[in-house]
């Protein structure tokens, strides 16, 4: 059994892993784990990841979770082009810096934007107060400003002149609020131009393929009550 | 000018960087940053407009984020392999831990200091429901730390000390410092702590932990710096964002 990737393209980190593997021609079996059906909570999946989260990787007997760990593992094992995670110490440190920063900032705020604006009300039938939504979108706005001012600045890509893991992780995260209908690039020409460069570097077709699911998030049919009950505790913990 | 490290030993990730540099004999200038004084220094602002610690300055090169700093130092200074092994799977496990740490440990274990010391210092209180949620979150994280990462190994991702152990230890020390002993009733974790501290050495631990472990005493004697009014807004916002 070769490399297996347990993914749901609804999830931001899964999209980054998917695009990276495809772009670099890394052969893998896609094991779909449907989050909205609660499949990540199954006993079968717990055998793969007892923490019940995607993405997960299985390479023979070796199992790995956490998207940044997976991306770095694939980078090293498959000897992808240097620009993804440069050998140059300082260039690489810039990528590490972004990958460390994004967990509690961009990732968290993009997730909350999607769930507060769309998934909680539409999929789970849980209304979100206008104040809560406004606060979430304000935080997202702040984070986008930091992304532009502290990381992108006047560079072509987040960590330098070439696309890296940092850009892939960031762009897939930004598609969460885009999928929720937030006009995040409006009034942000620098960020919009960067996004277009990243899409061009990844390839438009691959980018579109990876984002089909999230772009249909607003059309999610309401969850049935049993599923809703199963998912609620995890969702609430996730968007805390 | 050689390597400069901008650190406040009240901060968990700062201590991890400090300990790593000291243990590995990496020469550096310590630029002490006092978070409680509200980052007044203009010099610091120029270094790190994000106003965050830790920060590293290596000539013209400026770097933030403790994980990035630790990896940079381990590679640049060619520290012993066990800290950040070259082995593909071992290194992957460190990043796996650090990913989970960012979600489940970072942010969570710093809250007790805010509850017990920092909020009262500016005349406010963290709401009871947040205190309860934080306890629950810490308990859950500690269980996962013990079961998934430590298991029956000597250290978090294997049989030797790695960057993961440093990052984890410094986070867990934070609540201990304000009287919430996360190691009580958790023998495996307590034993792990003992092993990590034995490896680092008592002298280095005392040096790195001295400030945080005396925070309650300082508070009692009223020798803690009072944050300037400009710092209040940021601190209040931090408190409002505690889940």
- Contact assignment for A104 to B88 by CB distance below 8 Å: no
Neighbouring CB atoms inside 10 A of B4's CB total 17
Q: Which of A73, A69, A62 is nearest to A103 (CA)?
A: A69
List, in sequence order, the alpha helices (H) in chain B. Answer: 12-23, 42-47, 66-76, 88-104, 111-113, 119-121, 128-144, 163-177, 187-200, 202-213, 215-220, 229-240
The partner residues of A63 in beta bridges, in order of sequence, read A58
Q: Provide long-range contacts, Cβ within 8 A and 24+ apart, for A214-219.
A: A214/A9, A214/A10, A214/A15, A214/A175, A214/A176, A214/A178, A214/A179, A215/A175, A215/A178, A215/A179, A216/A179, A217/A10, A217/A114, A217/A118, A217/A119, A217/A179, A217/A180, A218/A118, A218/A122, A218/A179, A218/A180, A218/A181
pLDDT value of position B47: 55
Neighboring chain A residues of B107 at a CB cutoff of 8 Å: 104
The partner residues of A4 in beta bridges, in order of sequence, read A29, A58
The pLDDT confidence band at residue A5, using thresholds 50, 70 and 90, is very high
Q: Provide long-range contacts, Cβ within 8 A and 24+ apart, for A233-236.
A: A234/A41, A234/A52, A235/A115, A235/A119, A235/A120, A235/A124
Distance, CA of B39 to CA of B55 (rounded, Å): 13
- How many residues are there in chain B? 243
- Check whether B165 has a pLDDT greater than 90: yes
Question: Would the CA dihedral through A163, A167, A168, A172 be positive or negative?
Answer: negative
- Contact assignment for A69 to B99 by CB distance below 8 Å: yes
- Contact assignment for A146 to B76 by CB distance below 8 Å: no
- Produce one character per residue of B114-124: b if its CB has 16 or more CB atoms within 10 Å, e if not: bbbbbbebeee
- Contact assignment for A66 to B95 by CB distance below 8 Å: yes
Neighbouring CB atoms inside 10 A of A24's CB total 14
pLDDT value of position B112: 97
pLDDT tens for each residue of A68-105:
999 999 999 999 999 999 999 999 999 999 999 999 89
Q: Calculate how close chain A gets to B214, using CA atoms only, in Å.
A: 29
The pLDDT confidence band at residue B38, using thresholds 50, 70 and 90, is confident
Neighboring chain B residues of A66 at a CB cutoff of 8 Å: 95-96, 98-100
- Contact assignment for A96 to B68 by CB distance below 8 Å: yes
Report yes or no: A82 at the B interface, CB cutoff 8 Å. Answer: no
A15 within 8 A of A9, measured Cβ to Cβ: yes
- Check whether B50 has a pLDDT greater than 80: no
Q: Quick one: B203 exposed, middle or buried, by C-beta within 10 A (0-12, 13-18, 19+)? A: exposed
Neighboring chain A residues of B45 at a CB cutoff of 8 Å: none
Q: What is the pTM of this model?
A: 0.96
Distance, CA of B76 to CA of B79 (rounded, Å): 8
3-state secondary structure of A59: strand
What mean pLDDT do residues A218-234 have? Answer: 93
Ranges of beta strands (E only) in A159-226 are none
- Check whether B45 has a pLDDT greater than 70: no
Distance, CA of B156 to CA of B166 (rounded, Å): 10
pLDDT tens for each residue of A43-55:
999 999 999 999 9
pLDDT value of position B35: 84
Report yes or no: A238 at the B interface, CB cutoff 8 Å. Answer: no
Least confident segment among A184-198, B15-29, B55-69, B216-230? B216-230
- Contact assignment for B103 to A77 by CB distance below 8 Å: no
Distance, CA of A180 to CA of A96 (rounded, Å): 28
Q: Which chain B residue lies closest to A151 (C-alpha atoms)? A: B50
Distance, CA of B101 to CA of A99 (rounded, Å): 13
Phi, psi of A68 (to 5 degrees): -65, -40
pLDDT tens for each residue of B101-160:
999 999 999 999 999 999 999 999 999 999 999 999 999 999 999 999 999 999 999 999
Cα angle value B218/B221/B222 (rounded, 5°): 80
Report yes or no: A105 at the B interface, CB cutoff 8 Å. Answer: no
B121 within 8 A of B226, measured Cβ to Cβ: yes
- Contact assignment for A65 to B99 by CB distance below 8 Å: yes
Distance, CA of B77 to CA of B24 (rounded, Å): 9
What mean pLDDT do residues A212-218 have? Answer: 95
Tell me the two tokens of residue A195: 């996004």
Specify the DSSP element, H or E, that contains A56: strand A56-59
Nearest CB to B75; choose among A51, A70, A89 = A89
Residues belonging to chain B with any Cβ–Cβ distance to chain A shorter than 8 Å: 49-50, 61, 63-68, 71-72, 75-76, 88-89, 91-93, 95-96, 98-100, 102-103, 106-107, 133, 144, 147-148, 243
């Amino acid at each position: 059994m070769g490399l297996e990737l347990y993914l749901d393209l609804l999830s931001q980190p899964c999209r980054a892993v998917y695009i990276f593997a495809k772009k670099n021609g890394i052969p893998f079996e896609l094991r779909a784990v449907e989050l909205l059906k609660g499949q990540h909570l199954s006993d079968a999946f717990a055998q793969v990841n007892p923490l019940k989260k995607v993405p997960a990787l299985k390479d023979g007997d070796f199992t790995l979770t956490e998207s940044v760990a997976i991306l770095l593992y694939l980078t090293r094992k498959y000897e992808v082009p240097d620009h993804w995670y440069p050998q140059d110490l300082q260039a690489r440190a810039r990528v590490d810096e972004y990958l460390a920063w994004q967990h509690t900032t961009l990732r968290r705020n993009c997730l909350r934007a999607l769930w507060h604006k769309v998934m909680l009300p539409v999929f789970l039938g849980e209304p979100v107060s206008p104040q809560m939504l406004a606060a979430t979108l304000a935080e997202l706005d702040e984070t986008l400003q930091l992304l532009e001012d502290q990381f992108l600045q006047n560079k072509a890509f987040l960590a330098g002149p070439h696309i890296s893991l940092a850009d892939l992780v960031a762009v897939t995260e930004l598609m969460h609020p885009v999928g929720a209908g937030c006009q995040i690039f409006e009034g942000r020409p620098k960020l919009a131009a960067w996004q277009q460069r990243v899409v061009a570097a990844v390839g438009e077709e691959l980018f579109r393929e990876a984002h089909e699911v999230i772009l249909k998030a607003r059309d999610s049919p309401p969850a049935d009550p049993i599923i809703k009950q199963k998912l609620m505790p995890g969702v609430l913990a996730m968007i805390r | 000018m050689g390597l400069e490290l901008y650190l406040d030993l009240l901060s968990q990730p700062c201590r991890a960087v400090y300990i790593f540099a000291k243990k590995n004999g990496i020469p550096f200038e310590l630029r002490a940053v006092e978070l409680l004084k509200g980052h007044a220094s203009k010099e610091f602002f120029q270094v790190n407009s994000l106003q965050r610690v830790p920060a590293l300055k290596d000539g013209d090169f400026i770097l933030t984020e403790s994980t990035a700093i630790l990896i940079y130092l381990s590679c640049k200074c060619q520290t012993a392999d066990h800290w950040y092994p070259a082995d593909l799977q071992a290194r992957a496990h460190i990043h796996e831990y650090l990913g989970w740490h960012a979600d489940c440990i970072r942010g969570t274990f710093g809250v007790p200091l805010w509850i017990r010391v920092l909020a009262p210092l500016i005349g406010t209180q963290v709401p009871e429901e947040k205190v309860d949620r934080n306890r629950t979150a810490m308990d859950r994280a500690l269980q996962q730390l013990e079961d998934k990462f430590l298991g029956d190994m000597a250290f978090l991702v294997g049989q030797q000390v790695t960057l993961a152990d440093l990052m984890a230890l410094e986070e867990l020390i934070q609540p201990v410092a304000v009287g919430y002993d996360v190691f009580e009733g958790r023998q495996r974790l307590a034993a792990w702590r003992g092993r990590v501290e034995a490896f680092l050495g008592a002298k280095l631990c005392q040096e790195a932990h001295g400030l945080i472990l005396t925070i309650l005493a300082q508070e009692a004697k009223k020798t803690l710096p009072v944050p300037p009014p400009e710092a209040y807004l940021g601190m209040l916002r931090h408190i409002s964002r505690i889940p």
